[in-house]
């Protein structure tokens, strides 16, 4: 069946489009963009074509979240690939890249193939696995990069177990560079952060919780910038959370070092002040930082220092969170709130619409070398339809994700995805939206 | 004044009026412990559970005696390991205890915030008997009672707290309590023992013990946890004792009538020299212990409904 999306404001930063247009989708691909799709529809009179009125909506290339945790294999009680993909499309994401910290770790072809098979069975969002840099993510022996690339890996990362060994980081960057795949680094000097539970500052002091200094993030970013510069390779910095990190990345970009960076909605929405009730849903790594850091993250987003928005979707079961703060797992189930929280940046005037879509689609596609993020004829019809006005309240009970661990439960938000189209098929339609 | 707090989780949450009421109530209970029959029927029929996830002699005994002197039934539960290691979560433990209908649960836990978690789960009153490096409100209250007893007031006093502030729940609770009551609090310790932004709690911070105790009315010495040596918080006990031990020489900098306090247990010769600890003209360490029972009686009484 063919689809016509009619009457929306189409924003595609990759083509500098921001105009009212109709979109014709044929055979799972974008067929035509313009104001003449009615004609196209008539020309194809023999085929079934459904027209969807998307007046007052914003239509964008399918959103891409380049940093999620799908937990399968190994932690299916927290999330499965199917439930994670359901959460993704409900949040407006047509593509997601999943981190390798499963059990076993995604450090070889067979795990990668398993993830891709499960994703194909789920048949919701496109899933791009990220492979581990080192065997078991233990930071010792490199994984088989080429073999995993052949199996479908789009990047390498040891994620929550950052490469403390600078020599190994150098080798990983050099070797990945020869495959033209990026290395994604969770920047945390684990000697400096050892035992830490929250951002180190006034609030960690009064709460008696051991602090994670911003220094832990920044020293490793500084080191990785130097290694990337020396080896002339690409490095991507995951979930930037501190003012110093933004400064370092901004300076590195000025010096033309091939560095890209992402941040997550909680790092520009919440501060460490909110931890005063020891709410474990606010426990995340890197930790929620100070108000000054939040301001710097917004500046970094506005001036382009931070390229991408990725929610670091980290679903957990109740049992992982309903314990003493010290023992609680890190992470926020973020896919279903990420877009609305990021839209607040547009409402606040931090980002223009075009910039928001760049950070949620165009740039992640570019960083991961995906042929996505552009509404060009012939491309897969991955499209997100956003209602920018609708006001709604977050309710974790309604999450499609198995992880109900969200500090945003009950929060009033504005704007959400109402239609998520993947490969020309409607994979999600908000209850409020009439097809 | 009516006391309507459900829980005593920290000094941060108590108002000046509430602190005064607790201290006055405690002062009135002091006498009971001097009677031949050290028991009043006030909390007869009430059940108090002392749930201790961390080793304690002084605090647990003090709570038990306080409960017994008020005729409550007190039960002690000691978990040598954390709830997670033991396999039962704090939440499950709490629900099981709740099903046995106690009236007050006293909890000590190595994890900061554990009493807050417990308080959010059960309808019983919770008293924090020390949670990680967060708060130890009953210790601060007994310290304040002791200072008031010796100095007649808290307002305007210069009070030095010396040692490992970063890991000390006693320091945090005293900072909250004492600054609220109008005392001036001065901290001293090497930078490795002073947590970040501690000055924002309204205290003065020094690296030399001499600077903090100069002209002090009260000097509170904190226990050095010996295992911290391995974490490079300080190079050696020898060096620490040379620089931070309260002794005859540096105490001369304080006011003539200075009192010396310590939450115990003492590391004699490390943070405090034995001749200061044992000198009754300075040391009020055993008065602290005595007042500890009275303060805990007061809290059990106020929370147990005896006040109504």
- The 10s digit of each residue's pLDDT in B286-295 is 999 999 999 9
Confidence of residue B299 (pLDDT cuts 50, 70, 90): very high
pLDDT for residue B230: 74
Angle formed at CA B52 by CA B48 and CA B53, multiple of 5 degrees: 150
A243-254 and A291-302 are packed helices; what angle lies between their axes, rounded to 10 degrees?
A: 30
Q: What is the mean pLDDT of residues B46-50?
A: 96
Chain centre to alpha carbon of residue A125 = 13
Confidence of residue B249 (pLDDT cuts 50, 70, 90): very high
CA distance B208 to chain A (A): 21
pLDDT for residue A42: 57
Residue labelled with tokens 């009686």: B297
A-chain residues within 8 Å CB-CB of B114?
324
Closest CA to B164 of B125, B200, B192: B192
A326 and B89 within 8 Å at the Cβ level: the answer is no
CA distance A200 to chain B (A): 7
B137-151 and B16-29 are packed helices; what angle lies between their axes, rounded to 10 degrees?
A: 70
Distances, alpha carbon A259 to alpha carbons A165, A178, A185, A296, B76, in Å: 19, 17, 11, 18, 58
Q: CATH number of the domain at A62-367, out of 3.40.50.150, 2.40.50.70, 3.30.70.890, 3.20.20.140? A: 3.20.20.140
Strands (E), B251-297: 259-261
> Which two structure tokens, joined as six digits, stand for B24?
């006055």
Three-class SS of residue A269? helix
pLDDT for residue B85: 60
A323/B contact by beta carbon, under 8 A: yes
Whether residue B80 has pLDDT greater than 70: no
Distances, alpha carbon A359 to alpha carbons A215, A302, B11, in Å: 26, 11, 45
Q: Is residue B212 within 8 Å of residue B202, measured between CB atoms?
A: no
* Nearest Cβ partner for A326 among B111, B196, B201: B111
**DSSP structure string for A323-358:** S-GGGSPP-B--TTTHHHHHHHHHHHTSS-HHHHHI
Cβ atoms within 10 Å, residue A431: 7
- Order across the sheet with B73-78: list the strands: B73-78, B47-52, B104-109, B125-131
B112 and A209 within 8 Å at the Cβ level: the answer is yes
CA distance A213 to chain B (A): 10
Whether residue B201 has pLDDT greater than 70: yes
A-chain residues within 8 Å CB-CB of B174?
none
In this structure, what are the phi and psi dihedrals at residue A32, rounded to the nearest 5 degrees? -160, 145
DSSP state of B305: T
**Alpha-carbon span A141 to A132, nearest angstrom:** 10
Q: Any catalytic annotation for residue A27?
A: no
- Taking one residue from A and the other from B, the number of pairs with CB-CB distance under 8 angstroms is 72
A323 and B113 within 8 Å at the Cβ level: the answer is no
pLDDT for residue A47: 64
| Residue A178 exposed, middle or buried by CB count within 10 Å (0-12, 13-18, 19+) | exposed
| B232 conformational bin, left if phi > 0, alpha if psi -120 to 50, beta if neither | left
Q: Name the maximum alpha-carbon separation found in chain A.
A: 71
Catalytic residue selected from A312, A320, A382, A387: A312
CA distance B182 to chain A (A): 19
- Domain boundaries along the sequence of chain A: 2-59+379-429, 62-367
A146/B contact by beta carbon, under 8 A: no
Q: Is residue B292 within 8 Å of residue B65, measured between CB atoms?
A: no
pLDDT for residue B308: 55
**Alpha-carbon span B168 to A126, nearest angstrom:** 51
B112 and A206 within 8 Å at the Cβ level: the answer is no
CA A14, A127, A221, A343: dihedral to nearest 10 degrees?
50
pLDDT for residue B227: 75
Distances, alpha carbon A392 to alpha carbons A268, A347, A389, A416, in Å: 20, 15, 10, 8
**Alpha-carbon span A194 to A403, nearest angstrom:** 26
Which residue of A197, A198, A200, A208 is the best one to mutate when testing the B interface, meaning the one whose CB has the most B CBs within 10 A? A208
* Nearest Cβ partner for A208 among B82, B172, B200: B172
B84 and A322 within 8 Å at the Cβ level: the answer is no
Cis peptide before A104 (omega within 30 of 0): yes
Q: What is the mean pLDDT of residues B247-258?
A: 97
Nearest CA in chain A to B131: A208
Angle formed at CA A147 by CA A145 and CA A153, multiple of 5 degrees: 65
In this structure, what are the phi and psi dihedrals at residue A293, rounded to the nearest 5 degrees? -65, -45
A-chain residues within 8 Å CB-CB of B109?
324
Whether residue B82 has pLDDT greater than 70: no
Angle formed at CA B147 by CA B142 and CA B149, multiple of 5 degrees: 90
pLDDT for residue B293: 97
B82 and A323 within 8 Å at the Cβ level: the answer is no
Write the CB contacts of A413 (distance below 8 Å, at least 6 apart in sequence): A337, A340, A341, A343, A344, A391, A392, A393, A394
Which residue of B7, B94, B110, B196 is the best one to mutate when testing the A interface, meaning the one whose CB has the most A CBs within 10 A? B196
- Tell me the whole-structure pTM to 2 decimals: 0.95
Query: Which residues face A304 on adjacent strands?
Result: none
Nearest CA in chain A to B89: A323
* Nearest Cβ partner for A323 among B84, B116, B133: B84
CA distance B69 to chain A (A): 33
Chain centre to alpha carbon of residue A325 = 26
Residues of chain A short of pLDDT 50, as ranges, are none
A200 and B133 within 8 Å at the Cβ level: the answer is no
Alpha-helical segments (H) within A47-132: 81-90, 109-122
B-chain residues within 8 Å CB-CB of A319?
89
Write the CB contacts of A244 (distance below 8 Å, at least 6 apart in sequence): A214, A215, A217, A218
CA distance B26 to chain A (A): 27
Nearest CA in chain B to A322: B91
**Alpha-carbon span A253 to B202, nearest angstrom:** 41
Q: Is residue A272 within 8 Å of residue A282, measured between CB atoms?
A: no
Query: Which residues face B187 on adjacent strands?
Result: B161, B205
B-chain residues within 8 Å CB-CB of A213?
196
CA B157, B161, B165, B169: dihedral to nearest 10 degrees?
-70
With residue A320 as reference, give the H or E element that holds it: helix A318-321
Nearest CA in chain A to B10: A207
So what CATH class is A2-59+379-429?
mainly beta
């Amino acid at each position: 069946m063919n689809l016509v999306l009619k009457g929306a404001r189409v924003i595609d930063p990759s083509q500098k489009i921001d105009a009212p247009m109709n979109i014709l989708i044929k055979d799972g691909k974008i067929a035509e963009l313009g104001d003449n799709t009615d004609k196209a529809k008539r020309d194809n009179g023999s085929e079934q074509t459904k027209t969807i009125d998307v007046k007052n909506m914003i239509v964008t290339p399918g959103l891409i979240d380049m940093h999620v945790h799908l937990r399968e294999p190994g932690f299916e009680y927290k999330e499965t690939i199917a439930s994670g993909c359901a959460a993704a499309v409900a949040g407006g994401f047509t593509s997601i890249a999943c981190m390798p910290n499963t059990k076993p770790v995604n450090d070889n072809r067979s795990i990668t193939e398993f993830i891709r098979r499960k994703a194909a069975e789920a048949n919701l969002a496109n899933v791009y696995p990220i492979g581990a840099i080192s065997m078991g993510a233990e930071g010792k022996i490199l994984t088989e990069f080429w073999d995993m690339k052949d199996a479908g890996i789009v990047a390498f990362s040891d994620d929550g177990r950052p490469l403390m060994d600078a020599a190994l980081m150098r080798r990983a960057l050099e070797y990945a560079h020869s495959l033209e795949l990026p290395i994604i680094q969770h920047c945390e000097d684990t000697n400096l952060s050892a035992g830490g539970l929250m951002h180190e500052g006034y609030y960690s002091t009064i709460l008696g919780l051991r602090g994670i200094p911003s220094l832990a993030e920044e020293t490793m970013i500084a080191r990785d910038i130097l290694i990337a510069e020396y080896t002339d390779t690409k490095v991507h910095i995951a979930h930037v959370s501190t003012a110093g990190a933004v400064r370092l990345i901004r300076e590195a970009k000025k010096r033309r070092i091939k560095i890209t960076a992402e941040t997550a909605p909680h790092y520009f929405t919440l501060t460490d002040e909110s931890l005063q009730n020891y709410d474990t849903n606010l426990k995340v790594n890197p930790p929620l930082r100070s108000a000054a850091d939040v301001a710097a993250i917004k500046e970094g987003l506005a001036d382009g220092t931070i390229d991408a928005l990725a929610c670091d979707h980290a679903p957990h079961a109740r049992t992982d969170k309903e314990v003493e703060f010290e023992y609680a797992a890190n992470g926020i189930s973020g896919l279903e709130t990420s877009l609305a929280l990021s839209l607040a940046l547009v409402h606040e005037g931090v980002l223009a619409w075009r910039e928001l879509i760049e950070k949620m689609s165009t740039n992640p596609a570019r960083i991961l070398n995906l042929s996505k993020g552009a509404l060009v004829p012939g491309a897969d019809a991955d499209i997100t339809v956003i209602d920018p006005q609708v006001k709604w309240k977050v309710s974790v009970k309604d999450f499609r994700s198995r992880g109900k661990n969200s500090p945003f439960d009950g929060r009033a938000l504005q704007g959400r995805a109402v239609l998520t189209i993947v490969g020309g098929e409607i994979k999600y339609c908000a209850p409020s939206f009439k097809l | 004044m009516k006391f309507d707090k459900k829980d005593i989780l920290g000094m941060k949450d108590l108002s000046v009026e509430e602190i005064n009421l607790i201290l006055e109530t405690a002062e009135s209970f002091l006498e009971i412990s001097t009677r031949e029959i050290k028991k009043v029927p006030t909390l007869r029929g009430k059940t108090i559970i002392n749930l201790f996830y961390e080793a304690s002699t002084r605090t647990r005994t003090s709570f038990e005696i306080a409960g017994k002197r008020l005729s409550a039934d007190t039960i002690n539960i000691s978990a040598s390991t954390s709830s997670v290691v033991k396999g039962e979560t704090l939440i499950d433990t709490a629900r099981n205890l709740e099903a046995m209908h106690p009236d007050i649960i006293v909890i000590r836990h190595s994890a900061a915030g554990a009493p807050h978690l417990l308080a959010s789960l059960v309808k019983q009153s919770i008293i924090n008997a020390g949670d990680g490096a967060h708060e130890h409100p009953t210790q601060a209250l007994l310290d304040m009672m002791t200072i008031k007893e010796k100095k007649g007031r808290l307002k305007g006093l210069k009070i030095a707290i010396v040692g490992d502030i970063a890991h000390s729940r006693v320091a945090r609770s005293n900072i909250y309590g004492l600054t609220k009551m109008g005392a001036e609090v001065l901290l001293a310790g090497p930078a490795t023992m002073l947590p970040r932004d501690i000055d924002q709690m309204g205290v003065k911070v020094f690296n030399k013990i001499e600077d903090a105790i100069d002209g002090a009315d009260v000097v509170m010495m904190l226990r050095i946890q010996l295992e911290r040596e391995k974490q490079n918080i300080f190079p050696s006990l020898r060096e620490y004792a040379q620089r931070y031990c309260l002794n005859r020489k540096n105490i001369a900098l304080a006011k003539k009538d200075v009192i010396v306090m310590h939450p115990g247990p003492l590391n004699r010769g490390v943070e405090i020299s034995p001749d200061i600890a044992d000198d009754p003209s300075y040391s009020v360490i055993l008065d602290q212990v005595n007042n500890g029972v009275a303060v805990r009686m007061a809290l059990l009484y106020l929370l147990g409904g005896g006040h109504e």
